[in-house]
Structure 1
Amino acid sequence: MIGDGERQLILDAIFQNIADPMAICRVTEREDGQKDLVYVRVNDAYEKLNNTKRESLIGKLYSSVWKEDTTDWGGVMIRVAETGNTGYGEEFGDDAKSGFFEAESSVAPGYYQLFIFSPIPDWVVMIFRNMKTWRKVAVQLKKKEKLLRKLTAGLTLAEEKTRRTIAAKLHDSIGYSMVGMLHSLRTLYEEQRDAEQKMKVAAVVEKMERLLQETRSFTFDISPPILYEVGLSAALEARCDNLQLTHGIKCAFKCEGKETNLDEDTKILLYQMTHELLVNVVKHAEATGVLVIIRWGAKNVQIIVEDDGKGFTPSKNNRKSNSGMGLFSIRERLRSVNGEMKIVSTPKKGTTVSLVAPIQSRE
């Protein structure tokens, strides 16, 4: 049990070492039986912040001073005073775990950080820190982050347009020319009577067939026409088939729901991001199988890429490796279209990545 003298020493020490706006209250009980707080001490900075004199506060109930306490700081302070614990789990968010709470002052316009702690059972100290400058910097930083996400997504879309142009020229010009040459070579092969010459032409025909196949595969890798001609689901299924064919990794595809007219920019970003996830599987996962699922809902589309590879321990920002940087880039680009990425991975048990994006009408 703390005596009056010891309590006074504790309160004096707090007042001498804290220059920020501060008030000390103790828990009391109102006439209606409800718990409340009564002001015991306030410092000069608190007077200035709230534009009031301490004489008008000392002895007053918190509920009578702050009648419009919509955030229920009074309830928070009572629980802090009674338990000595500044954290209340998810009730007040992560900041509550450190005792800090965001607060807006109607008396002194600005942005403040409120720190609440209990130095003595049933007593509570509240300290206000002016965070106006910090808030301004934080808002500016958020704006710059948003702009950076838009620029990154815009760069991806601009790159895709260039890819699409190159792919179209490869397909429409070079591809058709190669098909014509292959047809001519096959005709020449049929016309040959000399066995030796026929073998030479056959070798050229085989090389041309292989070159044509490589060109088609390269065209698909650059920008698959099926994405624009048929849709995202068909393009992802074709990507899975191509992965299995070229890398020997079993890749299954599953489509749930009916495909909607997805905004083209979102469609391109989702395809490119899924492609990058599959590249990550090939390069880093050491997987033998991967499953790609696309789910079409009324408001959102979800793509899940699940592999049976070595997995990893996801860090908070996934920047610890080259693959992590790729995941971070995907997350930022997805946020530019109000999407969300989630990762579940366990070492030696594979990785599951979920991409969710809103469906917007092309109108």
Structure 2
Amino acid sequence: MELGIALGAVIVIGAVGGLAWHRRLQGRLAALEAELAVQTGEVAELNQRIRRGLEGMGAALWEWRLTDDTIHLSDLFLQITGYGREEFGTSARQFFACFHPDERDEVRGELDDYMARRTVHCSAEVRFRRKDGHYVWMHLRAVGSWDAEGRPLSLVGSFTDITAKMEAEEERDRLFNLSTDMLAVGGFDEYLQQINPAWVRVLGWSRDELMGSPLVEFIHEDDREGLEEAWTVLRQGTPVEGLENRFRCRDGSFRWLSWGSFPYPDRQLVFSVVRDITLQKQSEHQLLEYQDRLRSLTSQLSRVEDRQRRELASAIHDGLAQQLFGIRAQMVLLKYPDKVPNLRDIVIQIIDILDDTMAEARSLSFELFPPVLYEAGLEAALVWLCHNFGERTGIVCACAREGEGPELPEDMRAMAYQCVRELMNNVNKHARAGRIDVTLNYVDRFLTILVEDDGAGFDPNRQERPQEAERSTSGFGLFSIRERLRSVSGRMLVDSKPGQGARIFLSFPQPGEGMSDEPVAAEHFNPRPHFGDG
């Protein structure tokens, strides 16, 4: 009986204790629920702040719930694309249909790979069609969630409008590709990493060929040391301006390039602006060559003047002076009439010597500047020159005219006469010719004179070189003639080969006219196919 009472008491006490424990547990659970509600509110508020922050930075949020294949878009996304929420709905099919056709499969593939966990990150730059039909560039990012068995549940991500950035890059690329300068990005490993089309256009190599070998392999051996020194400076972070070297083209030739390079050591890159200065270098070389020729010409002209003085002095001494001496000797005899049996014969001899002296003086004067040049014109003067030249040298020389035209001004007429005379003297000295033909031709606005001989001929290209011309009187004769013609907008063309004689064309513009770019007058003489500038 007592045992029963004791057990009952224990049961009662246990029940009372259980009720107290249950009340305490319920209180604790209520406190936890209240704390969870607070934390849930804080998380929701934090999520809202994060959403507002992301959208404040231009990130339009979206969620793709894979369980029901619906899309939920933020207000900012709808604002960027121009759609109303009721217009767009929640259809994932409609969402993906708005991607540009060229990138639609790429986006789905990127998302599928990420959801299958074949990739760690999900990011892409895509075009999305606005309501007005235009496309905007978006940077897509997404993070996913999976259930315990690894099945994807949802994707949450953002779209950032990068249209301005992409348009700026397109404009940059357009300028990069259309630039006439050669633009390049290279690495500190001395390989080109990016080049614009100007490289291919100027040098002939393909992009892969240019970027597949170290830069130094394209540089002329004599310029490689300078390139290596430039790389050393660039790796130290110092720009290099005005580096010039010869770059090998695909056809084996070399072109001169000028480099302006700016290093970015943090990225191990060098940005370069490269210009083709081959024509400038050729012009500089031609200018130096021209200056050499002018210096040599000055020396040659000085020697020519000395020779002409000697020839004139010799002509006076051997001709006029001797004749004057003969006249003086005869005149001395007249002082002694009683010793001269026949004064009349002496006077006749004196008159004959005077006639010869006058003729020789006239011939010498004509040889220098014939009065007929100014009195009767250029054709008459050249006819006289050919006649006199033939008698003096034994070379058959003829002058002819084709066409009619106005007379040249006196100064240009004198130049034409001197040029023809110099060419004929060169033939006499160097060509071993038997015949010279001088032909005047009036065509359109030009007077062209052809001087042609059947002599030994020469290589016009060799006569263009200063060192060759310095050893050749004929070479400097041609150079001098050409420069004189250029001073009056005239031109000289040379057609000659060793052993085949020479044909030299002198073109003079008529009064008030300038030379055209084409030697039209020379064509009427039926020149040989190949011409060399004399």
The TM-score with structure 2 as length reference comes to: 0.36
Read off the aligned partner of 1:308 and give its amino acid letter. Answer: D
Q: Distance in 2 between matches of 1:206 and 1:351?
A: 43
Q: Distance in 1 between matches of 2:488 and 2:450?
A: 18
Q: Quick check: 2:200–2:207 contact (8 Å CA) kept in 1? A: no
Name the structure 1 match of 2:511.
Answer: 360
Distance 1:230 1:139, change over 3 A: farther
Equivalent of 1:129, from 258, 261, 264? Answer: 258
1:323 aligned onto 2:323: no
- SS of 2:455's equivalent? coil
Distance 1:204 1:362, change over 3 A: farther
Q: Distance in 1 between matches of 2:483 and 2:389?
A: 25
Q: Quick check: 2:439–2:449 contact (8 Å CA) kept in 1? A: yes
Identity of aligned residues (%): 32
Equivalent of 1:205, from 347, 351, 362? Answer: 351
Q: Quick check: 1:80–1:118 contact (8 Å CA) kept in 2? A: no
Q: Distance in 2 between matches of 1:259 and 1:340?
A: 18
Residue deviations 1:144-186 (CA, integer Å, cap 9, x gap): 959x69x98xx99xx9xxxxxxxxxxxxxxxxxx9xx9xxx9x
Q: How does 1:1-363 map to 2 (within 5 A)?
A: 50=183, 73=201, 77=205, 116-117=249-250, 128-130=257-259, 135=280, 138=283, 142=287, 196-314=342-460, 315-317=462-464, 319=469, 320-361=471-512
Report the aligned-residue RMSD: 5.0
Q: Quick check: 1:263–1:362 contact (8 Å CA) kept in 2? A: no
Q: Quick check: 2:451–2:505 contact (8 Å CA) kept in 1? A: yes
Q: Distance in 2 between matches of 1:357 and 1:144?
A: 26
Residue deviations 1:59-109 (CA, integer Å, cap 9, x gap): 98x8xx66xx7x99289556997xxxxxxxxxxxxxxxxxxxxxxxxxx99
- SS of 2:511's equivalent? coil
Read off the aligned partner of 2:505 and give its amino acid letter. Answer: S
Q: Distance in 2 between matches of 1:242 and 1:336?
A: 29
Residue deviations 1:261-281 (CA, integer Å, cap 9, x gap): 424433222211111011112
Q: Distance in 2 between matches of 1:79 and 1:254?
A: 61
Residue deviations 1:314-359 (CA, integer Å, cap 9, x gap): 4241614222222222222222223332333344443222222332
Q: Distance in 2 between matches of 1:308 and 1:141?
A: 32
> Number of residues paired by the alignment?
242
Question: What's the offset of the Cα at 1:215?
Answer: 1.0
- SS of 2:249's equivalent? strand
Q: Quick check: 2:200–2:206 contact (8 Å CA) kept in 1? A: no
Residue deviations 1:271-314 (CA, integer Å, cap 9, x gap): 11111011112222222221111111112221111122233344
Distance 1:263 1:127, change over 3 A: closer
Q: Distance in 2 between matches of 1:254 and 1:287?
A: 19
Q: Distance in 1 between matches of 2:286 and 2:368?
A: 35
Q: Distance in 2 between matches of 1:297 and 1:80?
A: 55
Distance 1:357 1:207, change over 3 A: same
Q: Distance in 1 between matches of 2:277 and 2:499?
A: 47
Name the structure 2 match of 1:103.
Answer: none
Read off the aligned partner of 1:232 and give its amino acid letter. Answer: L
Residue deviations 1:240-279 (CA, integer Å, cap 9, x gap): 1111233232211111111324244332222111110111
Q: Quick check: 1:263–1:361 contact (8 Å CA) kept in 2? A: no
Q: Distance in 1 between matches of 2:202 and 2:282?
A: 30
State the structure with more CA Rg: 2
Q: Which runs of 5+ in 1 are unaligned?
A: 1-47, 82-107, 120-125, 160-177, 186-193
Distance 1:271 1:195, change over 3 A: same
- SS of 2:414's equivalent? helix
Question: What's the offset of the Cα at 1:234?
Answer: 1.8
The TM-score with structure 1 as length reference comes to: 0.51
Higher relative contact order (CA 8 A, sep 6+): 1
Distance 1:127 1:223, change over 3 A: closer
Q: Distance in 2 between matches of 1:141 and 1:348?
A: 29
Q: Which runs of 5+ in 2 are unaligned?
A: 1-180, 210-240, 260-275, 306-323, 332-339, 515-534
Q: Distance in 1 between matches of 2:454 and 2:421?
A: 17
Question: What's the offset of the Cα at 1:142?
Answer: 4.5
Q: Distance in 1 between matches of 2:349 and 2:372?
A: 32
Q: Distance in 1 between matches of 2:455 and 2:441?
A: 23
Read off the aligned partner of 1:251 and give its amino acid letter. Answer: C
Read off the aligned partner of 1:129 and give its amino acid letter. Answer: S
Q: Quick check: 2:434–2:455 contact (8 Å CA) kept in 1? A: yes
Q: Quick check: 2:245–2:256 contact (8 Å CA) kept in 1? A: no
Q: Quick check: 1:112–1:132 contact (8 Å CA) kept in 2? A: no
Q: Distance in 1 between matches of 2:413 and 2:200?
A: 45
Read off the aligned partner of 1:221 and give its amino acid letter. Answer: E
Read off the aligned partner of 1:323 and give its amino acid letter. Answer: S
